Structure 1
Amino acid sequence: MTLKYSGILRIGFKLLVNDRAKFSALLIGITFAVFLMMQMTAMFAGILNRAYSTVTNVGAAMWIMDPAVNTPTSAIPLPDYLLDSVRSMNGVSYAVPLFIGSALVKLDSGTYQSVSVVGLDDTSLLGRPEIAQGRLEDIYADNSFFVVDDAEFGKLENPRIGTTFELNDNRGVIVGIARVASNGLNGVPTLYTTYSRAIQYLPTMRFTISYVLVQPRDATAVASIKREVAKLGYVALTQKEFNQTITDYYTYKTGIGTNILIMTVISFLVGLSISGQTFYSFILENLEKFGALKAIGAKGRELVYMILFMATFTALTGFGLGVGLVTLMITVARSQLPTYAAIVTFWNLGLAFAMVLVIAAISSYFGIRRVLRIEPFDIFRG
């Protein structure tokens, strides 16, 4: 009598969970592999998220820059005439300069601290952060700066409104505490001020504009703006394209992407070897049961479904445990270490899920080959 699929799957489930040692070994192998894969890719996603934090926080629709720029902090100064040329282009609603530079500030305690200084357009303050304490208009007062309250805030000795510091022999005053959407990657505090004050306080080359921020009139104007900017020898990128440029740089032009890829592949191979070997051993130990099922009428197709179900159930259970474990670890780590950058995204979830399915497919393949070759006569001959 032919067994129904529900019945054969129920038998497979009981065979699987009744062998607690093998089932536990399978779960541990897949859970460990998922944990490692998720951890590696989550770290990389966190690094990328912080790498383009400046682009995210400023929020400009288009960025004009030198073609050699790879990251927001490695800006190449642009000539002043470029800003005027962009403003005169068809399709441009408005264009403003942005300054991004590094500086060394002397705190009240006498210690020195590296900072990142962002100079916003004096008129529009395009790209300004959210002000948590203080007033936005105070940025126009003498020597005024906003400080970002992020993971690096403590490196400035937890300043308050009215705290003073020294920057290149110039006096600076904190007039506001700001919040931003994403923390930076370089591990230094961030100060915001006006563009004119930034280029006055920080030594620069002949040109002072780091980026030209552009707001196109509509989506159809983006292509024409890009063409006009290219004729001048520069490049115009949308926010998404600039983020992709940064992603490509860290993925292919630094060792970060390669190292993460290698560790992810190693994690996959570890999970595949442990689960594959354990699952095949489980199949060998239960060959008599599979032969008995064949003897009472189970077809080869039903046994294939049974093995696929067992492998998939184990893989998905291990996947869930691995995701839960890595999520717990990231949550605890970020609560204790504000600079911890790992994040879970749909991308690394999908990658880990795909790799787990591959592990299940390969593991079940060898088990299916072995089961389909057995004959009931060989089982009962002894």
Structure 2
Amino acid sequence: MKGILRIAFKLLVNDKGKYAALLVGITFAVFLMVQMTSIFSGILMKSSSTVINLGAQVWVMDPAVNNVASSIPMPDYVLDTVRSIDGVKYAVPLYSGAALVKLRNGIFQSVTVVGLDDNSLFGHPELVEGKIEDIYAENAFIVVEDAEIRKLGYPTVGTDFELNDHRGVIVGIARVAASGLFGIPTLYTTYSKAIQYIPSTRFTISYILVEPKSSDAIPHIQQQVKRLGYEALTKDEFMQKIANYYKYQTGLGTNILIMTVVSFLVGFSVSGQTFYTFILENLEKFGALKAIGAKGSELVYMILFQAMFTAMIGYGLGVGLCTLIITIAKLRIPDYSANITYTTLGFAFFMVLIIAGISSYIGIRKVLKIEPFDIFRG
């Protein structure tokens, strides 16, 4: 078997032009598939950045909420009722809203303001500069150090700005796990200051963050909240709901799917046609092997080996090229949304196997029909 596979390898790489065309087709297909799905994965991660950064186990919200940015304010009695549910360790309010700040240079910039519970500061980010206690000071805000901080002029501790005729002062620089999706800087403050500084409706609670006494208490909490006419979701459930919104209720998911399918078709058409041409040009060699005693199964192994070898090399080159492009893009564009995950790599690998399998099938059918006397008669 080793001898047969060695012959298959030499036949494959002997025609450098055809071999290069096979690699280019698969590499380009893998690159596009990984690139498209990585961008989609990065967008979904950024869309759930607030959920990831705050880290609450259970989120209580209005049932009509479909993503974290479109919160619907809830009345205060909901917070009191949630706190009284058996199994709730504690529950705190969260304010999340948009605001417009005026910088020192006179430029106006949109920001997302997150108001944390005054008593516990539950969900506060990790500070790299300043002290978390300073958030209680008058006009105090904490800015998130991510790709969007440049839009605020790279503020430092002590930098001031104006928000709705109120003076704001940066008292801390924070680091978070995931930056936002829409390229808007994020400011943290206390809940009381957020509702004082930012005009809002009669109800001001965007979400209620719940810490259950145990994971077994979560179903009971969800049931009781549902009786109130509201919805309680775990962190993973809320992230999935946000992902479903962007997948199915916006054009984003459809566009990414179309591009991924196009990438697959491009790779399949180029590699399939090239591999079939390769089989036709080497038909006499396969016939000669069959004439000197090679079994049909051995010829099948040869073709499968050639297809899989090319597919794996192309897969590695495609993933490597995509990783390089994404790395360069993130260095040049800090808020570039792309995230290569194991799911992304697994999906691309599965699609490459399909391309290799179909290409092999086309070649195998042709080779198995060869009759040795036809080769020698020619």
1:339 — aligned with what? Answer: 335
Q: Deviations over 1:99-143 (max 9, x none)?
A: 000000111111111000000000110110111111110000001
2:181 — aligned with what? Answer: 185
Cα distance in 1 between the residues matched to 2:109 and 2:327: 29
Q: Deviations over 1:266-323 (max 9, x none)?
A: 0000000000000000000000000000001011111111101100000011000000
In structure 2, the residue corresponding to 1:297 is in which secondary structure? coil
2:54 — aligned with what? Answer: 58
Determine which of 354, 363, 368 is the counterpart of 2:364: 368
CA drift at 1:19: 1.0
- Superposed, 1:1-382 pairs within 5 Å as 5-382=1-378
CA drift at 1:336: 1.4
Cα distance in 2 between the residues matched to 1:336 and 1:154: 14
- Where in structure 1 are there 5+ consecutive unaligned residues? none
Aligned partner letter, 1:308: L
Runs ≥4 in structure 1, deviation > 2 angstroms? none
Aligned partner letter, 1:65: M
Aligned partner letter, 2:245: Y
Q: Deviations over 1:21-65 (max 9, x none)?
A: 110000000000000001000100010010000000011010000
CA drift at 1:9: 1.0
In structure 2, the residue corresponding to 1:225 is in which secondary structure? helix
Determine what percentage of the aligned residue pairs are the same residue.
68
CA drift at 1:211: 0.2
In structure 2, the residue corresponding to 1:176 is in which secondary structure? strand
Q: Which moved more, 1:285-294 or 1:332-341?
A: 332-341
CA drift at 1:157: 1.1
In structure 1, the residue corresponding to 2:147 is in which secondary structure? coil
Q: TM-score, normalised by structure 1?
A: 0.98
Q: TM-score, normalised by structure 2?
A: 0.99
CA drift at 1:357: 0.2
Cα distance in 2 between the residues matched to 1:352 and 1:28: 16
Aligned partner letter, 1:205: T
Aligned partner letter, 1:198: A
CA drift at 1:10: 1.0
Aligned partner letter, 2:51: V
